[in-house]
Amino acid sequence: EKGRVLAPDGYPTAGLASITEAMAVSGLSRSMLYLLINRGVLETKRFGKARRVTWASIRQNFLTSEVAQ
């Protein structure tokens, strides 16, 4: 992807993901993602009304080596 540094697994190493991207990576529904966000499990940043999930929190919760294997 343009401008993103990708890890060997093909996902970005840093930056922000849209809710739709986080849904695709995690396999969770939008409502479940928002539940995790509200519980503080996933770190987000807000830009006006838009909410983005940090790739660091996606990696920590969904792309760890234990989950990937």
Q: What confidence score (pLDDT) does residue 4 get?
A: 79
pLDDT of residue 43: 97
Q: What does 44-67 look like in DSSP terms, one character per residue?
A: EEEETTEEEEEHHHHHHHHSSHHH
Q: Which of 6, 21, 9 is closest to 63 using CA atoms?
A: 9
The per-residue pLDDT for range 14-68, each reduced to its tens digit, is 899 999 999 999 999 999 999 999 999 999 999 999 999 999 999 999 987 654 4
State how far the Cα of 52 lies from the Cα of 45, in Å rounded to an integer: 5
